[in-house]
Amino acid sequence: MKRYILILAAAAALISCSHRTEVTLSRDALMDKIMGGWAGQTIGVVYGAPTEFKHQGTLIPDSQPISWGEGYVKYWWDKKPGLFDDVYNDLTFAEAFEQLGLDCSSEDLALRFAYAPYHLAHANQAGRYNVRRGIMPPQSGNWLNNPHADDLDFQIEADFIGLMAPGMIPQAMDIAERVGHIMNSGDGFYGGAYVGGLYSAAFIENDPAKIVDMALAPIPEESTFWQCINDVRKLHKRYPRDWKRAWFKILKKWGADTGCPKGVFLSFNIDAKINSAYVTLGMLYGDGDFGKSMEIATRCGQDSDCNPATVGGVLGVMLGRSGIPAFWREPLDDIWNLDFEGTDVSLAKGSRYSMDQALQLIERNGGKVTDESVTIPVMAECKLPLEQNFTDTYPIYRDQKDAWMEDVYEFDFSGNGFCIWGNLVCLRGISKNYAGRVSSKHVGSEVFALAEEDDTYVAEIEVWIDGELDQVSILPMKGTSRKLEPAWKYLMPEGRHHVRMVWRNPDPSQYLLRINAIQYYSSHPVTDPYYHN
């Protein structure tokens, strides 16, 4: 909490209230914009559903149609409730602020988030695991405790921030600071701050390029996140009609993931920078057109439901729900009043929460609220403190293991860090060929983890580094409690290291640890193309 207070003090010192202006909207217009934000986000999620991570490092070709039509939202609502994770994570935080008040702490928000009943992945699940283990924000989202810290998780659930802080970007950054470090830090945190800023700016600006400028202003220019998004701005000016050319140059420069164990040295990329770049491409090249903007963000590939969701939500605020073309808006009516999975909150209820919070924030910050209108206080930009993940930590080699640990597992490497990509596997329900005599030589690649929510088994694995016990890795089998990576260690002394993992409470007839791959890091990047660890 001390760190948060210091950050607020530093940010407040940079806010120049002498540049303050005001924007007046009718209460109906404000509510329409808030509903437009929730509507546009949900439309974008569904629009990109069939393509999510199907195109990794490649564009979705123009020849491939992307469906939309009557009944389409309800179809995905029934078929894949987890698709709406962007929205129900947002709604969890909106509900928390409604119930706990605008001054609720980061710790309060973290506990509400960590014990939500729905499935999470990547930085969200890593942050949840940390909080459940007593590691609270900002440490729960710090890259030394969370290999997914640069992933886009906060980015895809920061929409609610701009909706509760309309036109008030410094206030949006205040909220982002409390929420974003639960699951992210560095560029992963900046991704969410940027999205919150996009939504906030869209209440008072109708030019997508200016909305982008306003949202990027609080991000430190020294950060790689700012540099990536600024490259999109520069490319848009250089190639104003050719978004695909801009996309290729962004991919070439920024297309390598550093942290996510699923993506390093592979085509999968859930990093916040490049996915926010795809959001920005949609904003700048979409010319303010709702459908065109979402389509560009989708055809950029990678997280191609979350990215159009952000674009759709921001344009939904700009246009208002009533201004979203009926072709896009009407299929959403089928679920507008339905509660999302793992929540008792609907889009209708979430809109009311956001409206109530926005009115409170407007009044708190010197604005005016009457029965007919609201006057929003608009302040000059603030600057967030610089934080950068994976400093002096360069991925140098991905060792594809496809191995199984029953009791002991060892490996050697040269560098200054490692991260194991793998998971605990429950063997109950596997073919009888494995029952009672399972070992790594019997288990084929077809076996995978199906985390059972009623499974109370918790593996305890000692991790010895260079002959000394470094940590005891706690691995619950229960899906919502699971630890995504069995072990990692960064910023070690550069050199040769030996890692030995010892399972304290093994039960090889029931559980194995799958080790898919190990990625190694060094304090300096590899320059020799023939380097092998």
Q: Which domains are assigned to the chain?
A: 2-378 (1.10.4080.10), 394-522 (2.60.120.260)
How far apart are the C-alpha atoms of 467 and 497, rounded to whole Å? Answer: 10
3-class DSSP assignment, residue 344: coil
Q: Give the residue from 300, 47, 319 showing the smallest Cα distance to 202.
A: 319
Q: What is the CA 74 to chain-centroid distance, rounded?
A: 25
Cβ neighbours of 248 (radius 10 Å)? 14
How far apart are the C-alpha atoms of 324 and 333, rounded to whole Å? Answer: 13
pLDDT, position 428: 74
pLDDT, position 380: 75
pLDDT, position 62: 95
Q: What pTM does this model have?
A: 0.92
How far apart are the C-alpha atoms of 310 and 307, rounded to whole Å? Answer: 5
How far apart are the C-alpha atoms of 463 and 58, rounded to whole Å? Answer: 38
Write down the H helix ranges in 239-390. Answer: 243-254, 272-285, 290-299, 306-319, 326-329, 347-364
User: Is residue 315 left, alpha or beta, with left meaning phi > 0 and alpha meaning psi from -120 to 50?
Assistant: alpha
pLDDT, position 532: 54
Q: Give the residue from 1, 18, 365 showing the smallest Cα distance to 164.
A: 365
Residue 58 identity (one-letter amino acid): T
Residue 225 identity (one-letter amino acid): F
Q: Give the residue from 365, 313, 25 showing the smallest Cα distance to 160.
A: 313
For the chain, how far is it from start to end, CA to CA, in angstroms?
Answer: 41
Q: Give the strand order in the sheet containing 373-378.
A: 21-26, 373-378, 368-369
How far apart are the C-alpha atoms of 141 and 123, rounded to whole Å? Answer: 8
Q: Give the residue from 193, 48, 144 showing the smallest Cα distance to 485.
A: 144
How far apart are the C-alpha atoms of 476 and 158, rounded to whole Å? Answer: 28
pLDDT, position 262: 95
**Omega before residue 138 within 30° of 0, cis:** yes
Q: Is there a contact between 11 and 369 (Cβ–Cβ < 8 Å)? A: no
Helix H or strand E encompassing 321: none
**Which stretches of the chain score pLDDT less than 50?**
1-18, 431-451
pLDDT (tens digit per residue) in 286-329:
999 999 999 999 999 999 899 999 999 999 999 999 999 999 99
pLDDT, position 454: 76
Q: Give the strand order in the sheet containing 408-415.
A: 408-415, 495-503, 458-465, 468-476
How far apart are the C-alpha atoms of 81 and 114, rounded to whole Å? Answer: 19
- Structure token pair of residue 449: 């983890």
pLDDT (tens digit per residue) in 369-399:
999 999 999 987 789 999 999 999 999 999 9
DSSP-derived letter for residue 60 is: P
pLDDT, position 21: 86
pLDDT, position 180: 98
pLDDT, position 8: 37
- Structure token pair of residue 520: 């190694």
pLDDT, position 453: 62
3-class DSSP assignment, residue 285: helix
Q: Is there a contact between 92 and 112 (Cβ–Cβ < 8 Å)? A: yes
Torsion of CA 446, 447, 451, 452, to 10 degrees: 110
Entry field: residues in the chain? 533
pLDDT, position 528: 62
Q: Is there a contact between 531 and 397 (Cβ–Cβ < 8 Å)? A: yes
pLDDT, position 379: 82
Q: 58 has which bridge partners?
A: none
pLDDT, position 429: 52
How far apart are the C-alpha atoms of 298 and 282, rounded to whole Å? Answer: 8
pLDDT, position 506: 95
pLDDT, position 235: 98
How far apart are the C-alpha atoms of 475 and 486, rounded to whole Å? Answer: 7
